[in-house]
Structure 1
Amino acid sequence: MSLPNLAVTGSTGVLGGMVARQLAEAGTAQRLLVRDAGRAPALEGAVPLVFSYADSVLAGQVLEGVKVLFMVSAAEAEDRLEQHYSFIDAAAAAGVQHVVYTSFYGAAREATFTLARDHYATEARIRASGMDFTFLRDNFYLDFLPLLTGEDGVIRGPAGDGVVSAVSREDVAHCAVTVLRDPALHVGTTYNLTGPEEISLAFAAEVLTAETGRTVTYHPESVEEAYASRASSGAPPWQLDAWVSTYTAIAAGELAGLSPDVRTLTGREPLSLEAFLEHPQL
């Protein structure tokens, strides 16, 4: 039996799981590349195969015969970029023709958000590989905004009065499926995926208060306060830098700006924060 020529990573996670389910519902066969076959979703036309971003030999084996690859960025880790490089090189060597990669809004070599620099470098590696590509540059996820609230009901971070054009993972998934079902239409294209509004953390606190019934407020920390308040977590320096730069990137205006790309790809308006909170979550 020949394997499907579409491979999907991340199906045991939220975004990749949404994409895999939507593809299955549309009747699209796929290989589900997973670290643990026992956690792979049971979907019609889906074949789970065990792989690792960091194991180029194993990646090359499971990618043999794949034409289109949906690459969800690996879990945050100090060596994530090296994992990406290994996997991309293995994909190119295996003959993959087109990579659809979940990148980050404003990915740049000198981006304030430290992990956006890794996304930029990953994009560059894919461009240099000779494979066709489509980049989905997701803004911060709406799904994460409620999780910024501390146990005391306060969102703390050095975001100042900056705004973020957050997008729901559901909208990103719909965009990805559109691209994956007819990838030839999207070769060489970078899509900026945002929600329909620019959200300050003060405004987010107001919406969360109105929608959840819990009083939420925003306290704009200084950068020094942000590092000090997170130091007790025991997280390594690279992780602390990523956490703090989540907010300083907002303060710097690098997460602002609205894009029509979600509507262009899906034919529908992206979810606002209010609509997301009222929307049944998957």
Structure 2
Amino acid sequence: MTLAVTGATGRLGGRVARRLAAAAYPLRLLVRDPGRAPRLPGAEAAVADYGDPAALREALAGAGTVFMVSAAESPDRVDRHRAFIDAAAAAGVRHLVYTSFVGASPDATFTLARDHAATEEHLRASGLTFTILRDNLYADFLPLMVGEDGVIRGPGGDGRAAVVAQDDIADASVAVLRDPATHGGATYDLTGPEALSFAEMAATMSAESGNPVRYESETLAQAYASRARYGAPEWQVQAWVSTYTAVAAGELAAVSPAVPRLTGRPATPFAEVLRGARPQR
């Protein structure tokens, strides 16, 4: 049956879609803008938004397995996730693979991990067969946390995070999607091969880029004050700050064997992620 992939215009969904297309899987790419859908062999585009249950049911009809990339951060994110899961169940989807976050729980320090916990709860009650992939922080995005002055600032203290490469997440996801029955009901933590402090991440970025990067730990008051200039809503600022406090609390430090077990190769070290992301000259 057709395999449906959401987020195909994004970094993670796009990686997964390209891998599946290369393996000749029949794909349906759920997108909001068909003009942005990647042109892949054996793939068709279907227009649907997480907030449109009728369009979702139509787009998911006939799909046996669905790769559900979590929706963009927003105050109504959980409602949108629930609507998608309900539409998948109504459309007769057999298996849903959901991208969650490490440590997802109602009382997680990272506020957005609470959204994932609520989504997981709804998925488990939906009657769908499912697999949950709980991603750690994306190693690929860590350079974006560096300010223009070469400093990473946040209340992360000496905490550690087992940051994971998006290519590793994509490879693990494809392993599940190619044989979903083997992974029914499973929850996998997808992490890198080691847990790093922000100071160690900064040192690695310095070594790989040739530009000095350092980490400066902030107090909570300093963290909120330094982000006030962006004019972001309160929920968004809390999410930014709690990314660091979750690391400080040790909630992202555990290293999981899931990536090697699913992909058959070691997880990618942070330094190698940076080398892969370095622009070619």
TM-score by length of 1: 0.97
Residue of structure 1 in register with 2:200 after alignment: 203
Structure 1 residue 47: Cα displacement: 0.4
Question: Structure 2 CA distance, aligned partners of 1:32 and 1:97?
Answer: 17
Q: Deviations over 1:151-181 (max 9, x none)?
A: 0000000000000000010000000001111
Contact persistence 2:29–2:37 (CA under 8 A): yes
Distance 1:81 1:281, change over 3 A: farther
1:222 partner amino acid? T
Could you tell me how far apart the structure 2 residues matched to 1:228 and 1:255 are?
A: 25
CA contact (8 A) 2:140 2:277 kept: no
Give how far 1:5 is off: 2.1
Equivalent AA in structure 1 for residue 214 of structure 2: T
Separation in structure 1 between the aligned mates of residue 273 and residue 83 of structure 2, nearest angstrom: 36
TM-score by length of 2: 0.98
Q: CA deviation at 1:280?
A: 4.9
In structure 2, runs of 5+ residues without a counterpart are none
Match of residue 146 from structure 1: 143
Q: Which amino acid aligns with 1:123?
A: E
3-state DSSP class of the match of 2:45? strand
Whether 2:125 is the aligned partner of 1:128: answer yes
Please list every run of at least 4 consecutive aligned residues from structure 1 whose deviation after the TM superposition is greater than 3 angstroms: none
Unpaired runs of 5+ in structure 1?
none
What are the equivalent positions in structure 2 for 1:1-282 lying under 5 Å apart? 5-280=2-277
How many residues are treated as equivalent by the alignment? 279
Alignment identity in percent?
58
Decide whether the 8 Å contact of 2:97 with 2:131 is kept in 1: yes
Secondary structure of the corresponding residue to residue 67 of structure 1: strand
Q: CA deviation at 1:279?
A: 2.1
3-state SS in 1 of match to 2:117:
helix
- Note the C-alpha offset of 1:94: 1.1
Structure 1 residue 281: Cα displacement = 6.5
Q: CA deviation at 1:73?
A: 0.2
Query: What is the one-letter code of the residue matched to 2:148?
Result: E
How large is the Cα RMSD of the aligned pairs? 1.0
- The secondary structure found in structure 2 opposite 1:85 is helix
| Offset from partner CA, 1:230-250 (integer Å, 9 cap, x none) | 011010000000000000000
* Superimposed CA distance per residue, residues 171-230 of structure 1 (whole angstroms, 9 cap, x where no aligned partner): 000000011111111000001100001110000111111110110011000011000000
- Cα contact 2:156–2:248 (8 A) shared by 1: yes
